[in-house]
Copies of this chain bind each other. A is one copy, B any other.
């Protein structure tokens, strides 16, 4: 399908992809100009259309590349999750996701952006493509590892997982955005936010209300 592009030398491929990711992420699909891409990449317009046939195909290819890159990285990291305690495990999973997303910033921006808001006329392609990743690394993965006997009857595993992941994700995301501008490393940021995450986990574990 895209063999013309794929058989290029790796560094050339990479250069073109990086530029496309930047342009699409920063400028959005509609406003990104293929003229700009080709000029920045130092290639001719003809060859870009030889590789990808049209702008839509190029965009989908690039987004899919990012999706795969991020997804594969997360999956690989998830192999090393080692916490025994359930809540620690959820925390570890969320933080792994965040670390990878932090590392592949532009790529993540493009993918989330596109999933939330697919350009007109490619809603189907995008949604079916990105759905491949959704929850591969969340609910199903964790639900196997939970010790139900510890939970109250009404606190079903899926709810506890959802609740915990949602709030940890929110807090981590909020702080990453805030600290990002100060050029801090991920582990520096992590140190700052971990106490807050633990406080939320405590509420979920033991409840907000005093015992009567």
Contacts and interface: CB of A to CB of B under 8 A. Distances in A.
A154 interface: yes
Secondary structure call for the A interface:
helix
A117 B117 contact: yes
A170 interface: yes
A120 B27 contact: yes
24 contacts: A27-B120, A30-B30, A31-B120, A116-B116, A116-B117, A117-B117, A150-B209, A151-B209, A152-B206, A152-B208, A152-B209, A152-B210, A154-B199, A155-B202, A155-B207, A159-B199, A159-B203, A160-B203, A160-B208, A163-B203, A166-B170, A203-B207, A204-B204, A204-B208
Given A151-B208, A156-B199, A205-B209, 11 more contacts: A30-B30, A151-B210, A152-B206, A155-B207, A155-B208, A155-B209, A163-B163, A163-B203, A163-B204, A203-B204, A206-B207
Interface in A90-128: 113, 116-117, 119-120
A160 B64 CA distance: 38
Interface in A153-193: 154-156, 159-160, 162-163, 166-167, 170
Given A27-B120, A30-B30, A207 B210 contact: no
Interface residues of A, number: 33
A190 to B, nearest CB: 19
Interface string A26-42: 01101100000000000
A59 interface: no
A200 interface: yes
Which of A31, A120, A207 lies at the interface centre, i.e. has the most chain B CB atoms within 10 A of its CB?
A207
The 5 A-B pairs at the shortest CB distance, nearest first, are namely A207-B207, A155-B208, A30-B30, A206-B207, A160-B208
A149 to B, nearest CB: 8
Given A31-B30, A167-B167, A210-B150, A200 B159 contact: yes
A139 to B, nearest CB: 13
Contacts of A199: 154, 156, 159
